[in-house]
């Protein structure tokens, strides 16, 4: 039975869906009339809204799952204390 399953997986080639067309990955900004300053301002706003820098900061080093839970509960307690004065 194991050999049959291995054969089935090997036979199935295109199991991942391919993206159609020319799609860009990540953030991008169009520059109009050589206005780089305006495009940079828009790009910074997009980075801030996408929380990209926060994710990079969190992925800078490995954190154990228990540490993540502790940080999340601390954040939740902080948010609750804001509302209950």
Domain that holds residue 42: 30-65
Asked if residue 46 lies in contact with residue 29, where contact means CB atoms within 8 angstroms, the answer is yes
Question: Which residues, 6 or more positions from 46, have their beta carbon under 8 angstroms from its beta carbon?
Answer: 27, 29
- Give yes or no for residue 51 having a pLDDT over 70: yes
Question: Which residues, 6 or more positions from 25, have their beta carbon under 8 angstroms from its beta carbon?
Answer: none
Q: How far apart are CA 55 and CA 10, in angstroms?
A: 36
- Give yes or no for residue 46 having a pLDDT over 60: yes
- Give yes or no for residue 45 having a pLDDT over 70: yes
Q: How far apart are CA 50 and CA 55, in angstroms?
A: 9
On average, the pLDDT of the chain sits at 80
Does residue 41 lie in a domain region? yes
In this prediction, residue 42 has a pLDDT band, given cuts at 50, 70 and 90, of very high
Decide which of 22 and 34 is more confident. 34
Does residue 50 lie in a domain region? yes
pLDDT at 52: 87
Does residue 42 lie in a domain region? yes
Does residue 82 lie in a domain region? no
pLDDT at 41: 94
């Amino acid at each position: 039975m194991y050999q049959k399953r291995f054969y089935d997986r090997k036979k199935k080639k295109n199991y991942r869906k391919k993206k159609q067309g020319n799609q860009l990955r990540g953030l991008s900004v169009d520059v109009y009339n050589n206005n780089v300053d305006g495009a940079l301002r828009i790009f910074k706003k997009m980075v801030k809204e996408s929380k990209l820098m926060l994710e990079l900061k969190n992925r800078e080093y490995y954190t154990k799952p228990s540490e993540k839970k502790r940080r999340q509960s601390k954040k939740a307690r902080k948010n609750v204390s804001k509302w209950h004065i």
